[in-house]
């Protein structure tokens, strides 16, 4: 089954404790991205990757890191989480052609205390 998986689905952590949210897709997609969703703000892109070893900032990259060592994986790293990073996070992937649709993961609900 073609899908994007994220882990964990739910996470409660404390300020300053490094965490990683994993994302994996099995569709051989070149383009992958991370979004955060906050009430009243819709989805905002954090980082994206056009291909292996190619990453770039989206609209709200501060406080986040990513890596793309393999085509299928695109982990999101919070080196020192803060309460304002409490949000719902989505990973998405799509083929290289930008006008094709993105496939979203199920979401990770993160709470930083």
Partner 1 sequence: AQKITQTQPGMFVQEKEAVTLDCTYDTSDQSYGLFWYKQPSSGEMIFLIYQGSYDEQNATEGRYSLNFQKARKSANLVISASQLGDSAMYFCAMRDRTSGGSYIPTFGRGTSLIVHP
Please tell me the chain's helix, strand, coil percentages from 3-state DSSP, rounded to the nearest 5: 5, 50, 45
User: Which is closer to partner 1, CB of 86 or CB of 102?
Assistant: 102
Count how many Cα atoms sit within 13 Å of the Cα of residue 109 in the half-sphere of its side chain: 2
Rg (the chain; Cα; Å): 13
Residue 108 Cβ vs partner 1, minimum distance, rounded to whole Å = 10
User: Which is closer to partner 1, CB of 17 or CB of 55?
Assistant: 55
Residue 89 Cβ vs partner 1, minimum distance, rounded to whole Å = 11
Residue 90 Cβ vs partner 1, minimum distance, rounded to whole Å = 6
Pairwise CA distance, residues 101 & 71, whole Å: 18
Pairwise CA distance, residues 63 & 77, whole Å: 9
Interacting residue ranges for partner 1, rule: CB under 8 A: 31, 33, 35, 40-45, 48, 50, 56, 58-59, 88, 90, 92, 98-104, 106-107, 109
Residue 102 Cβ vs partner 1, minimum distance, rounded to whole Å = 7
């Amino acid at each position: 089954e073609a899908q994007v998986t994220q882990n964990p689905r739910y996470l409660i952590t404390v300020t300053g404790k490094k965490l990683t949210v994993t994302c994996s897709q099995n569709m051989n997609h070149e383009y992958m991205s991370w979004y955060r969703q906050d009430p009243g703000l819709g989805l905002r892109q954090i980082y994206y990757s056009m291909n292996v070893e190619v990453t770039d900032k989206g609209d709200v990259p501060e406080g986040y890191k990513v890596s793309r060592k393999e085509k299928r994986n695109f982990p999101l790293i919070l080196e020192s989480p803060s309460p304002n990073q409490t949000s719902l996070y989505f990973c998405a992937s799509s083929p290289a052609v930008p006008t094709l649709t993105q496939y979203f993961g199920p979401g990770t609900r993160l709470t930083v205390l």
